[in-house]
Structure formats: C-alpha cells, structure tokens
Structure 1
Amino acid sequence: MALVSELDALSARLAKTARGIEGGTMLQIVGTPVELMYRMMRDLAHMTAIRLFLKWNVFDHIPAEDGSAISYAAISDRVGAEEGLIARLGRALVSYGTLRQGPGDGVMHTDFSLSLLAEPLARALIEATLDTHLTALATLPQYFASVGLVEPPNPLQSPLAFAENRLGTSVFEIVHGDLARRAAFMAAMGAFEAELPALAGGYDLSWAVEQAAREKGRVLVVDVGGGKGQALVSIFRDVPALPKERCVLQDLPEVVEAAKKEGKKELEGVRMQEVDMHTGQPEKG
C-alpha cells in the first residue's frame, strides 16, 4: 500500500509539472521562491541590456547577413563607447540568447535581435517599459512613504512625476515633452491594444443591439480610457449590428487626438470625447 501511495503522489506531481510546462509556469511549480525572484531579476537585467543596445544603436552596427560577425572593439569605435562596457553587455545578451557569439571576440545577430530592428512595435514596448513605466515602479516605495498609503490625489501628483522630480506635471506632459519618448509611448499603447483587446471574446454585447431598439437615443457602450479604440473595433467585429453612433470613446485629450488622427475606418460614427477622469465622466452608457 505504501508503494501505491508513493506512486500516486509521484503521478500527481508529474501531472502538475506537465500542466506547468504547458502553461509556462514550470518555475513557479518546481522552483523555490529564491529561484523565482532570481528569474525575475534576470529578466529585468536582460530587458535593460536590450534597451541600452537599442538606445546606442548597437544592433544596427551588427551585420545583418547570416553568419557575419563584428568585434566588440569595432562596435565601440562606431558608437563612441568603451569596449569593456559594450563587451560586458554584449556577452550578457549572448548568454540570454538575444545575440550569438561569433568567431574570436565577435558577436552576431539572432532572429530575435533582427526582429527588434524590423519590428518598430517591439522596440517601442521595450523603450516605454524601461523609460517610463519602470521609472515610476522603481520609486513606488519612496512615493508612498512620502504621500501615505493613498491613491494619487490628482493627475499632477503621479508616481512618474514623483520619480522624475516633476510633481505638478501630468504624465502626458512629461511623456509628450520629448518627441521620441512620446512616439514610443503611443506606439506601445497601440501594441498593447492590438495584442490585448479588452473585450475580445470576454463579454457578449449582443443584448445591447436589442436594447438599442427599446431605448432609442441612449448611449449603449462607453469605452473609458479606450486609447485609440482597439477594444471598440473588437466589439464591432463581434457585434456588427451594434450602432456605432451610439458608442463613445473617452480618453485624455492627447490620446483622443491621436485616435482621430489615425482615423480607423472601423470607428467611423463613434463619438470621441476628451475627458479627465479626476473631474468626472461626462457621459455614461
């Protein structure tokens, strides 16, 4: 009986491990908390090294031809950096699999590093994450020690403003004050919307079509903080009979301006409203 119990326990553990492998959570299942934290730290260091090489245009100087390499010394000369610094970060990226070790002290591209040059959205996500989001996240302990354990009282007292010593300035004023940072931030938001449409398959809004016939003139759907409208596009795709003219997209003025400028055909007829969530919502569905 003892052997049977041991085999049952082993079987259960193997099944749990298999589910973890399938779901991408292997480390959480079989690793210790220290191992999990080490993995998180390693991922952060990995992303930071990528961000620095993007900022310094290092990837651009690595030959794109398959099998072609360049030395760290040559890269350093081209970007105006110390060879030791470039080599240290480059070897880290080789260990992460982002770059490949070339002959001698050379380094070569991988499919992933080439994709960073070919895919602007991937680059924008890394830039926005490291330059804006992480800046705020890293100083949250000091922020709450300063303001207390409360939510930000207004948009001018945000964690990002605190982190950058610019209290009294909104997040969008901070981000939009730098054209390159603004472009990366807006592109990243677009990438998030495209990859994670808020309601795709999550809710059945077919009832709103029936409600539209019963309550003429009533606003049916209000997308609060809707960005450039990707969630609404997803809704219209799933519920094509939903009247677009009775749907509203609400966001900050800068975001609404970007949405109008982009001019998605799928959003024709949707009302776009500039709002400040700290002062109230002008229209509700």
Structure 2
Amino acid sequence: MATTQTETRFSSLLSREKATTDEQPVHLSLCGIEVPSVGPDRGATDDDIWRTAEGRVAGTPHPKDDARKIVGHIKNRLNGSSPSGSSSRLLKLADDITTDITDATSGSEPARLKVATAALELAAAVRPPSDAIMSLFANMSVVSAVRLFQHWGVFDMLPTSPPTQGTACCDIARQINAEEGIVCGFHPLSPLLFLIEPGLMTETARISTMLTSSRILSLTHNGELCHTPTSLLLRSSEPMAAMFDLMYTNIVRVSDILPCYFDTYGKKEPVGPGHVPVTVLTGEAELGYFESVAKDEERMRGFTRAMGVASGRVPVTGVYPLGKMLDGVEEEDDGRVMWVDVGGGGGHVLRRFREGCAGLRDRRCVVVDLAGVVDQGRMEAKGDELMMAVEWVEGDFMREMTVKGARFYYLRHILRDYSDPIATLILRNVARAMGRDSRILVSEQINPDGGGTTGRPMPLYAAFKDYSMLAIGGKERSLTQFERIGKEAGLRVEAVYRDSKGTGHGVVEFVLEG
C-alpha cells in the first residue's frame, strides 16, 4: 500500500557505444549523438560556453556542427563500401540524423527522439555481435564506477564554478583516504610512463578512466578531473543523484536475484503488493514496495527527491483538453465535486491544473490520499490562494472511494505501480463511486501495442521503463492493455489523448460501460 501514492518516472541510464573514425572516436548514446569530449590534449578553452539552468549545464562543447561532422565520417565510410540493401539503410539513417540535427539540438523533443532512435539503430547495425555483447558489460562498468564515486562523494568535491576547473587526482585520493591508483585513470605523464615501464599504466587504469571514457567526467589540460553536464547532476544535492540510487537498487541489485526469484515464485508477472523482487531483495517479502520504502526515513527522503526528476520528464497539463471539457459543463447548484486527484499527494499536480485552467479554480476540487499525506498537504496549502479552497480527504485507492459522483477522477502515475489485478481493483473502486457522466482520467505512459513484436521493436526508453517497473510489481501499458483492465473494472475507453511532443505520455479517458 503506497504511503505517498505519487507518480514514478524513471530516467534512463545512458548507454554509450564507441565506433572509430579516421580522426576521432564517435560515441552514440541513448540521448543522441555525442562528440568526443575534452581530453588530455584538448582541454576546455575560453570559448567553451557553460551556463547553469535548473541545476543543469547547457551549451556543452558538442554542438550540431560536430554531430554533422561525425555523421559525415560515417557516410563517407558507407559510401566507400560495396553497395547493398543494408548499407542503403544505414545511409538513410545517417541522412535522417543529419536532417534532424538542428531541431534536435534546439530543444525539439520529437526531433531529439528521432535522432536518438536512428543513432541507436545505426550503432546496432555497424557493431559486430561480439562487440554488442561486450558493450553491455562496459555500460555496467560505467554504472559501477558512478556508484563508487557517488558513494565516496567525489562528485561533490569537484569545483562547479566554472565547471571546467578541475581537481587533481592526488587531492581527491587524499580527501577520501584512498590510494591514488584506485581513483585515477589518466596522468599527464601516462604516455611517457608507458614508454619507460608499461606495467606502471595498470596502476592508474581504474575508476576515473571509466568515467572519462564514457564522458561522465572530463579532463583539463593538465589531467585534472572536472565536471561535465552529466556529472553535475550526480552531486548529492541533485534529485538525479537520488534517482540514480533508486535505479541502482531496482535494476542493478534486483537483476542479481531475478533468476532465483522466478525459480521460487514461478515464471510469471509479480502480482504484489508483497513478494515483489525488490522487497524479496531487501528481506521484506511480505511488504509492498511503498510500505518497505516508508519504513526507512532516509530511503523515503531519497524516494521523494527522485520523484522530482520523474514528474518533470513528462507534461502535467496540456495533454487533456480540460478547459474545453469544462466549457461544456454547466454550473452545479448542488455542490457537486468537479475534480478528484486520486492519490494526489501534496496536491502539486492539482495546483498546476488550477493554475492553468481558470474554469477549475471556482469548482470543488478534492485531493484523496492517506491520512498523513493529506494532513501535510492541507498544512502546506495554507496561504496559497490556488489551494486554499481545495478539500483534503483521507482515503485509500485500494479500498472504497470516499468521494462519490465527481465529474472527473484523475489518476496520475498510479496504475503503473501495480500489476493488472491490482490496477483493475483500483479502477473498480473508483468506478463504483462514479456517476453516469463521470470520467476517469489515467495519465501515464502509453506503450505501442504489440510490445515490439509486430514489426519494428519498441523504442528502447519505453521498453526500459516497463522493465524497470518489474522490480516493484508494476508495468507500463499499451492502449490495448488499458482497455483490458478497464473492461474488467466495468469501464470502457472513451478517448485517448497523446502528448504532441512525442514523449509517449498520454491520458486515457474512461467512462462507465453500458
């Protein structure tokens, strides 16, 4: 049973694969194309533009012109090979990337996703199978190295103003009471040391090498470690650091026990709430995931911070045409509730709706959540003009819905945390409280139907998010899967609204069947 019943959006782990050109290494990543970063012979210059915005650094030295240059190298290589159907496909992918680079680097989400998808397909097509397998372990090594530096506080030790200023490895090693060799992967004299005594190089090829090679960290002219936009997000003060901790447990640690888990519980989807992989891992099999998190105050704080990353990745408003829907609803004289945020936590999402939709501000709005959550929300709402009139009602979506006959019941990132049987139970509980003209709005990721089995594979990020939910007994769903659980709850899908920016997020509108 969820304590905060908030939305969960997991960010993606970066996957970088290397292809070599005549002049410089080429890196293709989940988020698009990455050009070679600052190296020992190419330090940051005064022309490198770094600006801080919302805790992130933008304007990094890999603009669209560099990306075009990389794609040009690939195209030249392909044009030099014998023509074939496969090379024609690769050339088209390269052309697609070149065409969309400008939009992708200018903030267009659809263009960015298109370029990233084409880059991944291009990398997969040119990489030998054995390299593809070994690259999986290279990525795991990067995650392991990040975990170590995060645990030791190294990301917090590096200067951030300007972020291109570095810290010597010997200073880092001294601060964390470690041997310099275990920390440092590059030294300005490394090439000379290799010529004098090759064995000395093995002493330094350790943790920082994985992080500079994968462009998580960078190097200054004199070989000091310095921040990149990525590593700045891994400082302990950043919500993304909390997300990394959460994902490390739910993906890396859980993956080690999955064979034993399925041998014990059977090769089937976890039903939950208890006996899901992550609670089996932590030795609390009888508990649900959220119960387990709530028992540990520090873990709960980390979870709450991580949700700040998750909620910011997809839109809150603008997908469902709420204003248009409210225009067609006449004023009620009987005090009918217009909007119920089911499992709405502190009311932050409802506040966004009331802020963006004038028609909702004068209507009765209710947040339903567990007792401690609504008490906190009520206290935080004092003095907030947008939230002072909001009603806070204790309730549990696993049981009977306490607010009856509302016009809209809104569930954001609730069903994805649970298996089909439990998601059906939640919908059924809400359905029993509905009036004939009530609507349930489910705001979640909508996966492609077929699960990647009907032609082209599912986008990697969508597949990753669904797989990551396995640890807690949840799942991402396609429209067909939403229709199925809705039907079992006595509902039918009335309409579907998708994010126009190509995030895959959408709103499924349910009404009572019949």
- 2:275 equivalent in structure 1: 157
Q: Deviations over 1:140-189 (max 9, x none)?
A: 55444433424424x33333211212112343343233333221211111
Matched, 1:32 2:124: yes
Q: For 1:36 and 1:231, how far apart are their aligned partners in 2?
A: 41
Question: If the length of structure 2 is used for normalisation, what is the TM-score?
Answer: 0.45
Matched, 1:125 2:243: yes
Report if the CA contact (8 A) 2:366-2:390 is conserved.
yes
Matched, 1:59 2:188: no
Report if the CA contact (8 A) 1:224-1:249 is conserved.
yes
- 2:177 equivalent in structure 1: 80
Counterpart AA for 1:152 = V
1:250 partner SS: strand
Question: If the length of structure 1 is used for normalisation, what is the TM-score?
Answer: 0.75
1:220 partner SS: strand
2:329 partner SS: helix
Report if the CA contact (8 A) 2:90-2:122 is conserved.
no
- 2:403 equivalent in structure 1: 283
- 2:299 equivalent in structure 1: 181
Report if the CA contact (8 A) 2:217-2:231 is conserved.
yes
Report if the CA contact (8 A) 1:219-1:248 is conserved.
yes
Report if the CA contact (8 A) 1:69-1:107 is conserved.
yes
- 2:450 equivalent in structure 1: none
* 1:240 to partner: Cα distance: 1.6
* Higher RCO (C-alpha under 8 Å, 6+ residues apart): 2
Counterpart AA for 1:246 = R
* 1:237 to partner: Cα distance: 2.8
Q: Note the residue ranges of structure 1 that are not aligned, 5 or more in a row.
A: none
Bigger mean CA offset, 184-193 vs 271-280? 271-280
Q: For 2:377 and 2:369, how far apart are their aligned partners in 1?
A: 10
Counterpart AA for 1:184 = G
Match of 1:231 among 327, 332, 349: 349
RMSD (Å), alpha carbons: 4.0
Q: For 2:362 and 2:271, how far apart are their aligned partners in 1?
A: 34
Q: For 2:308 and 2:158, how far apart are their aligned partners in 1?
A: 29
Report if the CA contact (8 A) 2:270-2:276 is conserved.
no
Q: For 1:254 and 1:156, how far apart are their aligned partners in 2?
A: 22
Matched, 1:203 2:297: no
Distance 1:19 1:230, change over 3 A: farther
- Equivalent residues, number: 280
Distance 1:224 1:65, change over 3 A: closer
Report if the CA contact (8 A) 1:99-1:109 is conserved.
yes
* 1:91 to partner: Cα distance: 1.5
Report if the CA contact (8 A) 2:236-2:242 is conserved.
no
Distance 1:14 1:192, change over 3 A: closer
Q: For 2:345 and 2:141, how far apart are their aligned partners in 1?
A: 30
